[in-house]
């Protein structure tokens, strides 16, 4: 994920497994050789994130 340019987001969301999984998916899409979640799995992760994730303050820039 750091190679894809998501190091800061990785650090910001290290305590949130759903955000971590979705960030991994975003990074994997940039790296064509990385394994990715199926579209169905990604949709399910997004549903879980909407249902269970706590609101977060805006990420640092």
pTM, to two decimals:
0.74
Residue 59 lies in a domain: no
Residue 60 lies in a domain: no
Residue 31 lies in a domain: yes
Q: How many domains does the chain have?
A: 1
Answer yes or no: is pLDDT of 1 > 80.
no
Answer yes or no: is pLDDT of 58 > 90.
no
φ, ψ for residue 21, nearest 5 deg: -65, -40
Residue 19 lies in a domain: yes
Q: Which domain holds residue 12?
A: 7-52
Mean pLDDT on 15-34: 89
More confident residue, 26 or 57: 26
Q: What is the pLDDT of residue 52?
A: 84
Residue 57 lies in a domain: no
């Amino acid at each position: 994920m750091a190679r894809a340019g998501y190091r800061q987001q990785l650090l910001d969301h290290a305590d949130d497994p759903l955000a971590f999984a979705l960030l991994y998916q975003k990074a994997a899409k940039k790296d064509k050789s990385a394994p990715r979640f199926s579209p169905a799995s990604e949709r399910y992760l997004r549903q879980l994130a909407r249902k269970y994730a706590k609101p977060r303050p805006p990420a640092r820039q």
